[in-house]
């Protein structure tokens, strides 16, 4: 138990946060391992799943000792590492899933928000406790209001409270809520139709989501037209269309 464990299985890269004795709390070194595991995928990897060891926590976020003696310079370095890690997850060209098996706090909550999809069990608790330490929630906490609305996002961040996955169910934060024993099965079921698509179209669609988040409506629409047209240069797209036509003709 220690640094995140990275394993590849049937085209899926599993990244498991592995300090269950401290609720899988993270160090700066762990962030580098995760970043490398996400950015270092090859063409044989079609999906990434993040989870935590044990049944108590996905992760409690950055270990509080990380900030104990921080200065403005070291604080910037720490949060820059968080930004780079969480950003790598958000910008990965393959689908990313957070398999959330317990407490999901701080930077780990931001990782879950940065993932494309989230699968959790009913006892999961989310929270952004940073303000209790006198530091703000930053980086991909900026995504929270897209999921739960600005009012609820402000409540979650400013109160630093814990919220159950069922508390947030009406906002659709989790794509699936299943019993703990069914988490892995639910993740694989959710990924199956996505990974059946071409890697090119999934990467392009994810880039468009990022464009839609960061730019105005018309820019997003115009960019979509260019991305759509460019994919017809991709042999995989032409093959997928032909296969789809063949399937339809058999019905």
Query: Is the separation of the CB atoms in 219 and 183 below 8 Å?
Result: no
**Short-list 160, 159, 166, 128, CA closest to 144:** 128
Angle ∠(110,112,117) on CA atoms, nearest 5: 140
**3-state DSSP assignment of residue 3:** strand
Q: What is the pLDDT of residue 248?
A: 78
Catalytic positions are: 110, 130
- Beta-bridge mates of residue 12: 9, 47
Question: How far apart (Å, rounded) are the C-alpha atoms in residues 107 and 105?
Answer: 6
Asked if 51 and 17 count as a contact pair (C-beta separation under 8 A), the reply is yes
pLDDT of residue 41: 97
Angle of helix 106-114 relative to helix 72-91, nearest 10 degrees, comes to 30
pLDDT at residue 58, rounded to an integer? 98
Q: What tokens were used for 112? A: 């879950």
pLDDT given at position 246: 86
Predicted TM-score (pTM) of the model is 0.95
What distance in Å separates the CA atoms of residue 156 and residue 148, rounded to the nearest whole number? 10
Using the 8-state DSSP alphabet, how is residue 155 labeled?
H
pLDDT at 157: 97
Task: Give CA 41 to chain center in angstroms.
Answer: 16
Rounded Cα gap, residues 41 and 63, in angstroms: 27
The domains of the chain are located at 2-195, 199-249
CA distances from 251 to 50, 123, 186, 240, 245 (A): 39, 44, 29, 17, 10
**CA angle, 10 as apex, 47 and 35 as ends, to 5°?**
40
Predicted confidence at residue 251, as pLDDT, reads 66
**Please, what's the b/e burial string for 210-248 (b: 16 or more CB within 10 A of its CB; e: otherwise)?**
ebeeeeeeeebeeeeeeeeeebeeeeebeebeeeeeeee
What region does 19 belong to: left with phi over 0, alpha with psi -120 to 50, or beta?
Answer: beta
Residuewise pLDDT in 10s, the chain (251 residues): 699 999 999 999 999 999 999 999 999 999 999 999 999 999 999 999 999 999 999 999 999 999 999 999 999 999 999 999 999 999 999 999 999 999 999 999 999 999 999 999 999 999 999 999 999 999 999 999 999 999 999 999 999 999 999 999 999 999 999 999 999 999 999 999 999 999 999 999 999 999 999 999 999 999 999 999 999 999 999 999 999 888 877 76
Q: Strand, coil or helix: what is 197?
A: coil
Classified by CATH at the fold level, domain 2-195 comes out as 2-enoyl-CoA Hydratase; Chain A, domain 1 (3.90.226)
């Amino acid at each position: 138990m220690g640094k995140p464990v990275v394993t590849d299985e049937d085209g899926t890269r599993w990244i498991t946060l592995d300090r269950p004795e401290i609720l899988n709390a993270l160090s700066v070194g762990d962030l580098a391992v995760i970043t490398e595991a996400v950015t270092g995928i090859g063409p044989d990897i079609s999906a990434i799943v993040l989870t935590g060891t044990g049944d108590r926590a996905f992760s409690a976020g950055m270990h509080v000792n990380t900030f104990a003696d921080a200065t403005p310079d070291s604080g910037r370095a720490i949060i820059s590492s968080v930004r780079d890690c969480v950003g790598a997850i958000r910008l990965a060209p393959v689908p990313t899933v957070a398999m959330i098996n317990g407490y999901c706090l701080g930077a780990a909550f931001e990782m879950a928000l940065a993932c494309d999809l989230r699968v959790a069990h009913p006892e999961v608790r989310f929270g952004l406790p940073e303000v209790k330490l006198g530091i703000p929630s930053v980086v991909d906490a900026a995504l929270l209001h897209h999921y739960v609305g600005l009012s609820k996002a402000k409540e979650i961040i400013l109160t630093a409270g814990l919220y159950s996955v069922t508390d947030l169910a009406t906002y659709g934060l989790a794509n699936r809520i299943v019993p703990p024993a069914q988490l892995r099965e639910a993740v694989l079921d959710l990924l199956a139709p996505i990974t059946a698509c071409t890697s090119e179209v999934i990467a392009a669609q994810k880039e468009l989501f990022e464009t839609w988040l960061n730019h105005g409506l018309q820019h997003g629409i115009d960019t979509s037209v260019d991305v759509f047209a460019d994919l017809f240069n991709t042999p995989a797209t032409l093959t997928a269309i032909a296969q789809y036509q063949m399937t339809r003709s058999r019905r």
